[in-house]
Amino acid sequence: MTQEITLTRPDDMHLHVRDGAALNTVVPHTAAEFARALIMPNLKPPVTTAAQALDYKQRILAAVPSGLAFEPLMTLYLTDNLPADEIARAKDAGVVALKLYPAGATTNSDAGVTDIRKTYKTLEAMQRAGLLLLVHGEVTASEIDLFDREAVFIDTQLIPLRRDFPELKVVFEHITTREAAQYVAQSDAFTAASITAHHLLYNRNAIFTGGVRPHFYCLPVLKRETHRLALVQAATSGSAKFFAGTDSAPHPAHLKEHASGCAGCYTAHAAMPMYAEAFDNANALDKLEAFTSFNGADFYGLARNTGTLTLRRERWTPAESFAFGDAQLKPLRSGESLPWRVI
C-alpha cells in the first residue's frame, strides 16, 4: 500500500476566496497546498473589469503568508453587457478567463448572463485573444428539475455554443453528472472540465444522512451514485481533459445553517488530502498528479509548476471551524478525521 506520494505542486483551477477579512482565513489554506488558483469573480459587485481584477489580485496576494509562493490567476465575470473592448485590457492585465454564470444559477449570480447570444461579440473577442470561457453549466428555468439542470444545459446551451465558437477554449466547471463527463470526454481539444473533490467523494445521500446537512449543499448539487462513479472514472481515466478545481466556496456557518442556506462547500483546508482520498479509493493514486498538477496548466497554456507537494497516509483531524471575519467557517466534514495529510 502506498504510504506517501510526492507530486508536482498542484493548481486549483476553480476557487472562491471572497474579499476583505475572509481572505486572511482562506487564502493561506489554498496557498499551503497549491502553487496557483483560478479565482472566481462572483464578488458583490462582481469583478467585471481588468482594473478590478488587478486590484483584487493585490488584495489576495496581501493575504498570502510570507514564505509561500502563490499566484492567483484572475477571471472576469461575464455579463450581458461586458464590452468586447474590455477583453484586450483583460489580456494585457494577465486575466486568463471569463466566467459565465447563467443569471440566478448560484451565489451572487444576479448579474449573470440572461441569454448567451447577448455575449457573442465579447466571446468573439475572447476567441481571438485566447481567453478561456468557464461555464457554470446549469439552466435556471424553474420548471426544470434541479437534478436535471446540468444535463439540459449541455443540449440547450453548450452544444450550440460550441458550434458557434469552435476555437474558444471552454471549461465546463465542476461537472456533476455522467452526461457531462461523457460529453467532455468525447468533445474536441477545445473543451475540458474541472471536477471538485466533494463530487468525487460524495453522492446526494450526504446531504440527508441523519437530517439535513447544509455543509454538503453546493451548486450544482451532489447527484446520485451512478453520477459520482462516472466522475471518478473520468478523473482517474488518464484523460487530459479533466482536472482539479475545488470550487471551495466559504460561507459564514450561520448562513449555511439557515432556513435558506447558502450553496457552497468549503474544502480548501484539506483539498489535496480529499483528492488523494478519492483517487486512493479508486486505486488510482498514480493518476493523481496529472489531474491536479498537469492537465489544468496544459489546457490553459500555462507552464507546469516547479516544486513538489508530499502527501502521507496518516489520519488527522482538521479544525472543527475557522474564524471568518466576525463569523465562523465550518469546513466540509468538520471534526471528522481524514486518511491523507499534507506534510
Residues that are catalytic: 247
Query: For Zn ion, which is the closer residue by CB, 37 or 125?
Result: 37
Query: For Zn ion, which is the closer residue by CB, 12 or 247?
Result: 247
Minimum CB–partner distance for residue 135 and ligand DOR (Å): 11
Distance between CA atoms of residues 16 and 219, nearest Å: 13
Give Cβ neighbours of residue 222 (< 8 Å, ≥ 6 apart): 176, 198, 199, 202, 203, 204, 206, 207, 216, 228
Minimum CB–partner distance for residue 252 and Zn ion (Å): 17
Region near Zn ion per CB under 5 A, out of 81-89, 231-239, 246-254, 276-284: 246-254
Residue 219 touches which member of ligand DOR, Zn ion, none, C-beta under 5-8 Å by kind: ligand DOR
The verdict on 247 binding Zn ion (CB under 5 A) reads yes
Distance between CA atoms of residues 30 and 112, nearest Å: 26
The verdict on 150 binding Zn ion (CB under 5 A) reads no
**Cβ neighbours, 10 Å, residue 263:** 16
User: Which residues make up the interface to ligand DOR (CB under 6 A)?
Assistant: 16, 42, 106-107, 136, 218-219, 249, 263-264
How many residues at the interface with Zn ion, by CB under 5 A? 1
Residue 42 touches which member of ligand DOR, Zn ion, none, C-beta under 5-8 Å by kind: ligand DOR
Minimum CB–partner distance for residue 130 and ligand DOR (Å): 25
Query: For ligand DOR, which is the closer residue by CB, 107 or 233?
Result: 107
Is residue 133 within 8 Å of residue 170, measured between CB atoms?
yes
Distance between CA atoms of residues 111 and 99, nearest Å: 12
Cell output for 118: 447577448
**Cβ neighbours, 10 Å, residue 335:** 11
Distances from the Cα of 73 to the Cα of 13, 94, 173, 341, angstroms: 9, 8, 16, 25
Q: Give the residue closest to Zn ion by C-beta.
A: 247
Q: Which residues would be at the binding site for Zn ion (CB under 5 A)?
A: 247
